[in-house]
Chain A
Amino acid sequence: MSTKASLLLQKQLAHLKKHPIEGFSAGLIDESNIYEWQIMIMGPSETPYEGGIFYATLTFTPEYPDKPPKMKFTSEMWHPNVYKEGEVCISILHEGEDAYGYEKANERWTPVHTVESILISVISMLSSPNDESPANIDAAKEWRSQREVFNKKVQRIVRKSQDA
């Protein structure tokens, strides 16, 4: 039901404008489209991402909250769980059973998730990558065995994000 989705998203948007959560900021890309959100994530401190200002989009469907939105970094991102094209791959944005058995059903999408809970998961993903089901295999390999190289690359994208 599309009215339910847009109603719910509108409420969340209004709420976030008044009571934003530390670590990210959210708004609409185009004020007339409630389904396309502009997200800005501040790189969590004490991680290589600290100081970074990363842009992402959150794309909902009218089936929300029955179906999860898609999240995609538009800023450059280097992370085991983010595809090189920017798409975020975390369990709570996935529906149903995981065909590969990596993710337990209770960690996957449920309709209780909000923009807030999704972004808290993403921020926590930045702090602690999950290398069991990597989206960016190169980043995962570096993170596992060449942490120095990994951190250097991340610091570079952080600087880039600050310049943008």
Chain B
Amino acid sequence: MVKINIKSSTDNKFDVDAELNITVADFKKIIAQKSSIPADQQRIIYSGRVLKDHQTLEELKIQEGHTVHLVRGGNSAAPPPPQQQVPTPNNTQPQSIPGMPQHINEMMNNQMFQDAINSPMMDSFFENPEIFRQMIMGNPEMREVLNNNPEMSHIFNDPRQLRQTLEMMRNPELMREMMRNADRAMINIENHPEGFNLLRRMYTNIQEPLMNAANQQAMSHNQTNSNPVQENTGPNPNNSPLPNPWSSSPSPSTTTENSNNSTTGTNRSPNQQTPFPNLFGGNRSPQSNNGSTGNTNSNTNNPFGNMFGGMGGMGGMGGNGFGGLSPELMRNMMSSPQVQEMLNNPAMLEQMINMNPQMREMMESNPQMRDMFRSPQFMNMLSNPDNLNAMMQIQQAMQTLQNNGVSPFGGGMGGMGGMGNNSAGGMGGMGGMDPFSMLSGMGGMGGFGGMGGMGGMGGMGNNSSTQNQEPPEQRYSVQLTQLEELGFTDRAANITALTQTNGNINMAIDRLLR
């Protein structure tokens, strides 16, 4: 039984309940009970046609809530003024998650990020384990890692796992829950007598080979400019087999051998950690402790590295989007007097870090890291233009890698992306230069595993913070123009819809038409 609305020329509007398998003739009898027009004089009009008595409602594809016209044969109605459907948007403000650094919140609400994870492409991507498998199996080292560690391949092959990760990213509440769980899980592992060793083993067995695989791919890419993942796509290696939704324009692969050096440089850094955080760490529950392949930081109190490794990958890709586009800008920023001053002034850096409670906690529980921040070598490393160049090149190499479809393992790339994001933050002026994006840079440099991933996020949030300072009219000016071109002339409603959908024009149209 469905409800069908009747718009009548004589009785205004009413609705009737009807089964969909009845004929139009029977439908007219039902209507006749509520209408002054007898069934034999009724004309039912739907979808541009007068309905014939022998047709069934099903055949006509009439559905619940649809409206049909009813006219008396030989009589008709005057057209009333057209009714404008005013959209009634439910005013959902972007949610923020208490207890999370502002940048993560901002990133979660960031238009591009939300667009990206809400896009149908993402859906199909996560729905399709085949893509993942292909990407992984395209790389011999990666394949070996997976063969040696069946539980890993399970993660990569299980669409549900991927979906869960995605859902988590879409839903801030869930995300917080996951974070808490993962945090707890890590602590539990550590408290367990064998736990720490387990983590260490995980690092040597899984993370290192994975990273090597990724690095090697980056290198081989540099040298031969060919990608094992897509051997069969012809001479042009940068045909982007998987479009990167975060990348506003894929930049050409201008990688040089220099990036090899810097890759090794990364590994040699004081806190020798892989820039390859746990992509799927986020959906690890306490029960599956030993599956946590992610953060093997010798101090596992790093509150985010593990659970946000996956996010970091995302952020990293995002970083590629805006950050990777402007090596020039990046260099300028890093050599700007203010940044130089900051870098040369450990106290300032420390102050910035202390401003963020999460960061402070991390520093306090990890003296090594604090030392690293304080060490003049590290500062020099950061402020040395050559190093920056090298870092940019890593990033470009990573971008190439991502363009070629390796991106989902993007933890390490998260770190790199973070670096790129630094430049995005720089675009927004010094205000954008905050502990998180700083750290993201360091994540890239020092290869802080999970932190690298975090960096990607920090950078992402960073960009959004500069973006969000604009009023929605400016932020969504492109979309507003498009909407107006599409015939949505109510500017206020357009702005509301765009704000609610974070600038996603298709979703905004949906709302406007609802």
Which A residues are within 8 Å of any B CB, using their own CB?
Answer: 4, 7-8, 11, 14-15, 17-23, 25-29, 31, 37-40, 42-46, 50-53, 55, 65, 111-114, 116, 120, 123, 162
Contacts and interface: CB of A to CB of B under 8 A. Distances in A.
Given A52-B76, A114-B487, A42 B48 contact: no
A158 B49 CA distance: 16
Contact of A17 (B50, B67, B79, B83): B67
B73 A162 contact: yes
Interface residues of B, number: 37
A132 B74 CA distance: 31
Looking at B7, B45, B65, B76, which has the most chain A CB atoms within 10 Å of its CB? B76
Contact of B47 (A4, A23, A26, A112): A26
B77 A22 contact: yes
Interface string B70-113: 01011111111011010000000000000000000000000000
Interface string B116-153: 00000000000000000000000000000000000000
Contacts of A111: 485-487
B29 interface: no
B513 A15 contact: yes
B9 interface: yes
Interface string B478-514: 0000001111010000000000000000100110010
B69 A42 contact: yes
A52 B73 CA distance: 9
Contacts of A31: 61
Contacts of A11: 509-510, 513
B221 interface: no
Contacts of B61: 31
A112 B489 contact: yes
A120 to B, nearest CB: 6
Contact of B45 (A43, A53, A65, A114): A53
Contacts of B77: 22-23, 42, 45
B486 A14 contact: no
Nearest to B509: A11
Given A11-B513, A14-B513, A120 B48 contact: no
Contacts of A51: 74-76
Contacts of A113: 487
A157 to B, nearest CB: 14
Interface in B368-408: none
Q: From DSSP, what is the main secondary structure of chain B's interface residues? A: loop
Given A7-B506, A19-B85, A21-B82, 13 more contacts: A19-B83, A22-B80, A23-B77, A26-B48, A27-B49, A38-B49, A40-B48, A42-B77, A44-B79, A112-B487, A114-B487, A123-B79, A162-B73
Residue from the set A38, A51, A113 with the largest chain B CB neighbour count within 10 Å: A51
Nearest to B80: A22
A93 B49 CA distance: 23
B369 to A, nearest CB: 49
A42 B513 contact: no
14 contacts: A11-B513, A23-B79, A27-B49, A38-B48, A45-B76, A45-B77, A51-B74, A51-B76, A55-B48, A65-B487, A112-B484, A112-B489, A116-B82, A162-B73
Contacts of A14: 513
A44 B63 CA distance: 27
A21 B77 CA distance: 12
A28 B486 CA distance: 20
Given A7-B506, A44-B78, A112-B487, A20 B7 contact: yes
Given A44-B78, A65-B486, A21 B47 contact: no
Contacts of A120: 79, 82
Contacts of A65: 485-487
B243 to A, nearest CB: 15
A129 to B, nearest CB: 16
Contact of B49 (A40, A43, A52): A40
Contacts of B47: 17, 25-28, 38
Contacts of A46: 78
A21 B76 CA distance: 14
Most chain A beta-carbon contacts within 10 A, residue among B43, B68, B69:
B69
